[in-house]
Amino acid sequence: MNVLISGDHQPISHFVVVPLMAQGHMIPMVDLALLLAHRGSLVSLITTPLNARRLRAIADHATTSNLLFRLIELPFPCKSAGLPDGCENLDLITTVDLIRPFFKALDLMADPLKSYIRSQPPSPTCIISDQCMPWTMEVSDDLNIPRLVFHGPSCFFLLCTLKLAEHKLYEKVTDVHEIFTVPDLPQRIEVNKLMAQRFFDRPEMKDVMQQVEEAEDASDGLVLNTFYKLESWYIEEYRRSVGKEVWAVGPVSLVHKDAGGMAVRGDGCAGIDKGSVFEWLDGREKGSVLFISFGSLVRTRKKQLVEIGAGLEGSGVAFVWAVKEAEENEEVSKWLSEFEERNRNRSRGLIVKGWVPQVMILKHPAVGGFMTHCGWNSTLEAVAAGVPMVTWPHFSDQFLNEKLVVEVLRMGIGVGVKLPSFYQAMLEEAMVGREKVEMVVRRVMCGGEEGEEMRKRAWELGEKARKAMEDGGSSYENLSSLIGYATGLAANRGGELQ
């Protein structure tokens, strides 16, 4: 197990941060860890060898910034859990049959983490673990360490699913396509069960969901990646409903103030030369470019890629489109090559393959819209950048995040998707045709009263996001409160490992 530590001053506290090994979960928890380190805390981020390689660049950047940041590698017991060697991240899961063994392997990390904590001073002040890591409850209990749970999704999603569970609608509604209203909200939000899925809504994962709920109930509080003025009513109602301390400390992506930090966030290298992307963007008019990215897990089929491409060309809007290498095969590569050459010759668009520095791209003045899968990280990054959205949810919390963006915040327009991606894969035709893509892109990007109002709301929310993270802002003060609360809990428990 490797340890990287920077700085030599005494920390005010020591947080052990335990993210789920999935890009969408790791990224915000690394950002949270950096926020804590910037406040003078020592942070030990727990991960595995493969994931540590992905995080090495951000750890090195923390070192050069003199932050008290440790990257801790624990072995991941693939063989013991029945996983292929090296299957250390959810984005490497190739079949649903491997999901259960993956979570079994996570459970087996409890003893190595306890051994590490016992062997490495100083004693932790607090563990902050992803909601999907209930095994950390055992570590917390055995070592008498306070534990907080980090939630990656929006508070809107958390509250909606909580209300649905309280009213037993997950059990009462048997038709997954039946539309019903989420109860106890200040506005009418209509969903079906497919659009309101929780992370472990699978029959074979029922016991894992129960463990997650028990671990959350036993926690000392909840940490959210959001900010008060974005979701104020939902945060207050969620706090009242769960009866626990709740801290909204986001957008955590705003911890990155310099280009170096933004460039290595999430992955050490981008899909193409970053300089060429930004040189191209520098030549575009302000707000004229649409950025398209569907996150780390979504795989788009060729027939849908073709419809997106045709819609983009029909709209006449300039674009930067991030296409994952995993989406490529010989047929897709041929089409992409022709599409890219055609649009490059017209100076209309760029195709970026592999990982992209998304926060940097969204912050560029030329970017005026974002076609997104509505993962909460991406959604909140767009909010922080003040960029309106074309929403295209695929699974899990993304459909309710879309409801928040389109119906509550009114800073985006949906393409009209109503089914999760695994249903879409069974359709012979593309889920969204080129005409709809073109129409929605034009509505968001090409001016008009509707587009201008969205742009204004997006800009105002971006300003509020930035102020929330500044000294004296709501998220800044909430993080101070969290550190003080955890330090007080640790002191009351005697500060000694059991």
CATH number at residue 336: 3.40.50.2000
Residues 242 and 215 in one domain: yes
Q: Please indicate, yes or no, if residue 274 is contained in any of the structural domains.
A: yes
Whether 168 is covered by a domain: the verdict is yes
What is the band of 156 on the pLDDT scale with cuts at 50, 70, 90?
very high
| 7 lies in some domain | no
Both 246 and 320 in one domain: the answer is no
Looking at the fold, whether 191 and 249 belong to one and the same domain comes out as yes
CA distance 95 to 90: 10
Query: Does position 392 have pLDDT exceeding 80, yes or no?
Result: yes
Instruction: Out of 15-24, 117-126, 365-374, pick the least confident.
Output: 117-126
Read off the pLDDT of residues 203-223 as tens digits, 9 standing for 90 and up: 888 899 999 999 999 999 999
Name the least confident of 33-42, 97-106, 193-202, 330-339: 330-339
pLDDT of residue 2: 38
Q: pLDDT tens-digit profile of 85-133?
A: 999 999 888 888 899 999 999 999 999 999 999 997 778 999 999 999 9
**Average pLDDT, stretch 372-401?**
96
Report whether pLDDT(427) > 90: no
Regarding whether 335 and 197 lie in a shared domain, the answer is no
User: What CA–CA distance (Å, rounded) separates 320 from 391?
Assistant: 16
Give the lowest-confidence range in 353-357, 377-381, 408-412. Answer: 353-357
Strand 222-224 versus strand 190-191 pairing type: unpaired
23-38 helix and 474-492 helix, angle to the nearest 10 degrees: 80
pLDDT at position 180 over 50: yes
Q: For residue 5, is it within any domain? A: no
| Structural domains counted in the chain | 2
Same-domain check for residues 309 and 184: no
Are 243 and 306 part of one and the same domain? no
Average pLDDT over residues 179-190: 96
Strands (E), 217-346: 222-224, 246-248, 289-293, 318-323
**In the predicted model, is pLDDT for residue 1 greater than 60?**
no
Please tell me whether residues 166 and 207 are part of one structural domain.
yes
Residue 438 counted as domain residue: yes
Q: What is the pLDDT of residue 43?
A: 96
Residues 318 and 241 both lie in one domain: no
pLDDT score recorded for residue 191: 95
Question: What is the arithmetic mean of pLDDT over 312-332?
Answer: 82
- Asked whether the bond before 134 is cis by omega within 30 degrees of 0, the reply is no
Crossing angle of helices 448-469 and 434-445, rounded to 10°: 70
- Comparing 279 with 326, which gets the higher pLDDT? 279
Q: Which two tokens stand for residue 350?
A: 């760029």
The pLDDT score that the predictor gives to residue 266 is 61
Phi, psi angles (nearest 5°) of residue 371: -85, 115
Residue 447 has pLDDT above 80, yes or no: no
Residue 159: the pLDDT is 98
Question: pLDDT exceeding 70 applies to what percent of the chain?
Answer: 91
**Strand partners of residue 70:** 44
Q: State both tokens at 267.
A: 């992955």
In the predicted structure, residue 429 carries a pLDDT above the cut 50: yes
Region of poorest pLDDT, from 279-288, 417-426, 448-457: 417-426
Are 43 and 36 in contact by the 8 Å Cβ rule? The answer is: yes
From CA 126, how far away is CA 145, in angstroms rounded? 6
pLDDT, one tens digit per residue, over 145-154 is 999 999 999 9
In this structure, is residue 261 part of a structural domain? Answer: no
pLDDT of residue 203: 80
Based on the domain organization, do 247 and 130 belong to the same domain? yes
Q: Report the candidate in 411, 368, 417 with the shortest Cα–Cα distance to residue 393.
A: 417
| Mean pLDDT across 406-410 | 97
**Are residues 216 and 271 both part of a single domain?**
no
- Give the start-end residues of each E strand in 324-372: 349-353, 367-372
Nearest to 326 by CA among 88, 49, 92, 51: 92
**Coil, helix or strand at residue 15:** strand
Q: Is the pLDDT of residue 5 over 50?
A: no
pLDDT at residue 8 above 80?
Answer: no
Residue 498 has pLDDT above 70, yes or no: no
Q: For residue 19, what are its two tokens?
A: 């993210």
- Any domain includes 148: yes
- What per-residue confidence (pLDDT) applies to 372? 97
Cα–Cα separations (whole angstroms), residue 396 to 103, 157, 359, 409:
18, 10, 23, 20
The CA-to-CA distance between both ends of the chain, in Å, stands at: 22
Residue 363 identity (one-letter amino acid): K
Same domain flag for 349 and 208 = no
- Please state the separation of Cα 13 from the chain's center in Å: 26
Query: Is residue 412 situated within a structural domain?
Result: yes
Q: pLDDT exceeding 90 applies to what percent of the chain?
A: 71
Q: What is the mean pLDDT of the chain?
A: 90
Domain housing 399? 266-466
Whether the bond into 153 is cis, omega within 30 of 0: no
Q: Are residues 221 and 76 in the same domain?
A: yes
pLDDT at 4: 40
Using the predicted structure, report yes or no on whether residue 169 has a pLDDT greater than 90: yes
